[in-house]
């Protein structure tokens, strides 16, 4: 069989195998992955690549290896979910590196972190002054969580006894020129009402609209296919839509 065709078939097998296995193992964000998860992903991807291009051996052993790694990874996930102590050793646990404003040097040494690395993590969280930090915790994925001292926390509406309504979520009514009738009915609106609202914005046809949403407060967000925005060469020249 032609080598190119063999690689093509193997690539299809590897691609759909990875697609299925990725669904099985879940879809955490890259920032949420532990070091073990990261290594597991690299290894599985490497095996899939070898399955595709290594024509010196049959595809079957590589696919068995791929399945084995995925099954073991899935079992480790189940074990971590079911057994707290297993999760502690497999995924690690949070470590307090700043307590009551004081850096825990012993914890840093145990985790093999330097003070410079902690300062870098703090800057990534927009904290440039250690005096602002009450507690800092290194998470199992290497990220840092921070609790600032009370005097450095932002003022909230609750602090000044102001009650605020939950803004809610906007509902799509027009998507790429198509009216979503079901959403209109759920909002107790109809097409006649929609067309009347569109005319207020100088729109005569829903096909002119790329996206239209309605929030619980009755405010419309409209984005047309042809937005009248001036082309500018300097940011200072921009004056917004006209």
Domain ranges of the chain: 3-88, 95-152, 171-224
Q: Do domains 95-152 and 171-224 have the same CATH topology?
A: yes
Question: What pLDDT score does 38 carry?
Answer: 76
Task: List, for residues 129-171, the tens digit of each pLDDT value.
Answer: 999 999 999 988 788 999 999 999 888 888 888 887 777 788 9
Provide the whole-model pTM. Answer: 0.56
Q: Which CATH superfamily hosts domain 95-152?
A: bsu07140 like domains (3.30.240.20)
Mean pLDDT of 209-216: 91
80 CB-near residues (< 8 Å, 6+ apart): 86, 87, 90, 91
Q: How sure is the predictor about 232, in pLDDT bands with cuts at 50, 70 and 90?
A: very low
CATH of 171-224 given 3.30.240.20, 3.40.50.620, 3.40.630.10, 1.10.150.170? 3.30.240.20
Question: Do 21 and 13 form a contact (C-beta atoms < 8 A)?
Answer: no
């Amino acid at each position: 069989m032609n080598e190119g065709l063999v690689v093509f078939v193997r690539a299809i097998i590897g691609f759909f195998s990875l697609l299925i296995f990725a669904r099985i193992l879940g879809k955490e964000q890259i920032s949420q992955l532990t070091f073990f998860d990261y290594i597991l992903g690299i290894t599985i991807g490497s095996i899939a690549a070898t399955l595709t291009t290594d024509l010196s051996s049959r595809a079957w052993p590589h696919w068995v290896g791929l399945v084995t790694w995925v099954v073991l990874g899935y079992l480790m996930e189940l074990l971590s979910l079911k057994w707290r102590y297993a999760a502690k050793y497999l995924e690690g646990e949070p470590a307090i590196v700043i307590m009551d404003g004081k850096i825990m040097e012993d914890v840093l040494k145990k985790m093999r972190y330097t003070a410079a690395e902690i300062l870098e993590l703090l800057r990534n969280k927009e904290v440039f002054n250690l005096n602002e930090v009450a507690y800092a915790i290194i998470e199992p994925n290497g990220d840092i969580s921070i609790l600032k001292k009370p005097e450095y926390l932002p003022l909230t509406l609750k602090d000044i006894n102001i009650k605020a309504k939950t803004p809610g979520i906007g509902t799509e009514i027009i998507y790429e020129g198509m009216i979503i009738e079901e959403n209109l009915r759920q909002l107790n609106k109809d097409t006649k009402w929609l067309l009347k609202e569109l005319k207020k914005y100088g729109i005569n046809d829903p096909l002119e609209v790329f996206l239209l949403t309605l929030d619980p407060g009755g405010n419309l967000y409209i984005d047309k296919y042809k937005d009248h925005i001036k082309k500018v060469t300097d940011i200072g020249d921009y004056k917004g839509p006209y």
